[in-house]
Amino acid sequence: MKKTLISMAIAATCALGFSAQAMTRAEYSAEKDRIGADYKAAKAKCDPMSGNAKDVCKAEAEGMEKVAKADLEARYKPSASHDRKAREAKADADYKVAKEKCDDQSGNAKDVCVKDAKAAHTAAKADAKVAKTAADVRSGDASPAKMADVRKDAAEDKRDAEYKAAKERCDAMSGDGKDVCVKDVQAKYGK
């Protein structure tokens, strides 16, 4: 399954890199059918599994399909908007899989895992927004001032998510260790 995901990640990267080359309607249709077949095959591999392993497998299959479809749209109708949607689809898929993997844990370890997954998701979505705005600035659809605002907002969103994850790690501690950890985290993130 990991080899399949790695192959899909490489294909997605290539798809984003070549998004300036539009596809024909026939190529689009054939690729869409292939994505559907790949999804069915990946989902079928999950059937013999049980428990959380099955949930993770299904999340990976669904994520792979959504990312592939978003990448396909970005190649078929190249635009900054479609590229952003493809990046966001990847971020959403990664987040869903990470959250499912967190279900194997319990207590504070699970809470930390979920917060880390959320921080990564927030960062990826913020980066997608920055990339789209940068493309808009290059095409003249947005001003450099807009770019500065988007970068500032993205940095704040990332910092807030990282702060929450770091603070959650402190909850595993107790006593003076926890107090020192919380103070260090607050100092680092300016809270």
Q: Is 97 within a domain?
A: no
d(CA 20, CA 90): 19
When comparing pLDDT for 16 and 58, which is higher?
A: 58
Contact 34, 26 (CB under 8 A): no
Q: For residues 55 and 112, state if they share a domain.
A: no
Q: Is 3 within a domain?
A: yes
Is the pTM value of this prediction over 0.75? yes
Q: Taking residues 153-182, report their average pLDDT.
A: 93
Q: Tell me, what's the pLDDT at 21? A: 58
DSSP string, 118-160: HHHHHHHHHHHHHHHHHHHHHHTSS-HHHHHHHHHHHHHHHHH
d(CA 67, CA 69): 5
CA 130 to chain centre: 14
Q: Is 90 within a domain?
A: no
Contact 43, 6 (CB under 8 A): no
* pLDDT, tens only, 96-139: 999 999 999 999 999 999 999 999 999 999 999 999 999 999 99
d(CA 88, CA 116): 17
Which structural domain range is residue 16 located in?
Answer: 1-79
Q: For residues 190 and 112, state if they share a domain.
A: yes
In this predicted structure, the answer to whether residue 15 has a pLDDT above a threshold of 80 is no
When comparing pLDDT for 42 and 10, which is higher?
A: 42
Count structural domains, the chain: 2
What would the two tokens of residue 42 be?
């990946």
* pLDDT, tens only, 19-74: 445 789 999 999 999 999 999 999 999 999 999 999 999 999 999 999 999 999 99
Of 31, 9, 30, give the one whose Cα is nearest residue 87. 9
Contacts of 26 (CB under 8 A, 6+ apart): none
Q: Taking residues 160-178, report their average pLDDT.
A: 92
